[in-house]
Amino acid sequence: MAFAIVKTGGKQYKVAVGEKLKIEKIVPEADGSVIFKEVLLTEDGGKVIVGTPLVTGATVTAKLVGQGRARKVIVFKYHSKARYKKKKGHRQEFTEVEITGIK
């Protein structure tokens, strides 16, 4: 089974053909496809290619499945005996993609 490690949104993901994953929100191309050019490692049938830092000529293609926002994360700051309380919420936007090819 072939897989690759790609870098997007400041994070690294191990991907294989047919997988669905949620990544940081990105803007897809007009036809709904996404091309990841920052490939750090590829593996195909025991043949491993490690980039320094990127694998030259390697790309991972994906198609857009959907976009949305994750569940709300509550950030609560509190200092005892100082009457200090702050409550803040955050919902991270994401893009869900399905990997279609590794080259």
pLDDT in tens, 15-35: 999 999 999 999 888 888 999
Q: Return the pLDDT at 29.
A: 85
For residue 72, the SS3 value is coil
Taking the C-alpha atoms of residue 74 and residue 90, their distance in angstroms, rounded to an integer, is 7
84 by Cβ neighbours in 10 Å (0-12 / 13-18 / 19+) ranks as exposed
Strand partners of residue 6:
13, 39
For the whole model, what pTM was predicted? Answer: 0.82
Q: Return the pLDDT at 92.
A: 96
